[in-house]
Amino acid sequence: MPICPTRVLSCMVGGMEMLTPESVRARLKAAGAWSNKKLGQHFLVDASVLDSVVEAAELTPTDIVVEVGPGLGVLSRRLLPVAKRVIAFEYDPHMQAILANDLPELEVVGGDVLRTAHKALEGLETYKVVANIPYNITTPLLRLFLEGGVGVLPSSLTLLVQKEIGERLAAGAAKPGRGYLSVLAQYYAEVRFVRDVAPSCFVPPPAVNSAVIHLALRTERALPGRRRRLTSSSSCTVTSSSRVNN
């Protein structure tokens, strides 16, 4: 069973604790915003999950971090003090306004990350992706950052994803669940399953369990032969309708 410890990290906005269900609802209400069902938004409210994500990312003061789906900026607040820059892609205009008000030092890029990332990240020499990603774009997002759709590849990706997807990404040869995503991820990176995350770690709770995974990109590919782009024509392609935000 995935666990969700109750230990709380101080993460204040104008005196408001941002790691409780009450504070999330209050912040949304104050901004005239809401959890968007169409986007499947679920906001992370557990400090131990944040600890796991940041620890797995192994950030240094010189790192540039790319975050996708920052939501209310709970993870962003943990990233900003330990990284040189944090560039955050947020689709929801309501969340963009909240982030601009609460975290002016965060570099927010609006719109669809699948369309805006290449231009926004142009010129970067290296960066790390650290994110609680929208679950409904997991596969295209992985392809974007693993196959070079943004130009320069990241050195690593530390992601909070749907647990089923995390298990598939890390599945070894002949293991249950191994398929297209497993081959895609392991061709480009060494994949480590970090931990389970329970639905109760989010507000409102999603219908699925989640997981933290870490992908360290390889300097040499895992499969023999020249580097090639993997296609999504495989019957093992996975999609999901859930989206979770910080």
36 against 20, higher pLDDT: 20
Contact between 177 and 171 under an 8 Å Cβ cutoff? The reply is: yes
Domains along the sequence of the chain with CATH: 40-217 (3.40.50.150)
Is pLDDT above 80 for 3?
A: no
Selection from 87, 70, 8, 63 nearest residue 246 by Cα: 70
Alpha helix positions (H), the chain? 21-30, 47-57, 74-79, 93-102, 113-120, 138-146, 163-170, 180-188
Distance CA 10, CA 226 (A): 48
User: For the chain, first and last CA: distance in Å?
Assistant: 22
Selection from 107, 104, 97 nearest residue 71 by Cα: 97
Report yes or no on whether pTM surpasses 0.75. Answer: yes
Tokens of 36: 């968007």
Taking the CB of residue 111, how many other CB atoms lie within 10 A of it? 14
Tokens of 43: 């906001």
Distance CA 9, CA 102 (A): 18
Q: At 130, which helix (H) or strand (E)?
A: strand 128-132
Angle at which helices 138-146 and 113-120 cross, to 10°: 20
Is pLDDT above 60 for 76?
A: yes
Question: How high is the pLDDT of residue 177?
Answer: 82
